Amino acid sequence: MEEIGLPTLTSEQIEELCEVAERAARRYIRSKTSTKQVSTLNITIDTEGTKPVTVNVDVELDLLPGKKSHDAKKLTEEATQQAFASIEEYLRKIACKSKR
């Protein structure tokens, strides 16, 4: 990720960052497959540091076999990308607010 001039993040901001990322990943999975097809969905967001902050996203997805089968690996990769996109957007908002 590129440098966007972030301030040191508070624990509340880090918690919100994790929630934003998890919601984005879940929303993406739900938009692509029925919840009835999902046997396992675990999303883990880990952070290290406050400035700079390092974020790790892990999406675990197991799908039940069905008529409308999706590629679980592809869905997890795309959900992870969505989580990182939401993280970047959130951090950009924080950076803009801190410059005021």
Position 9: which residue type?
A: L
- pTM for the full predicted model: 0.84
Tokens of 91: 């951090």
Q: Which residues of the chain have pLDDT under 70?
A: 1-7, 67-69, 97-100
DSSP single-letter state for residue 32: H
| Domains of the chain, residue spans | 11-95
- Neighbouring C-beta atoms of residue 68, cutoff 10 Å: 8
**CATH, domain range 11-95:** 3.30.300.100
pLDDT digits (tens, 9 = 90+) for 41-62: 999 999 988 777 889 999 999 9
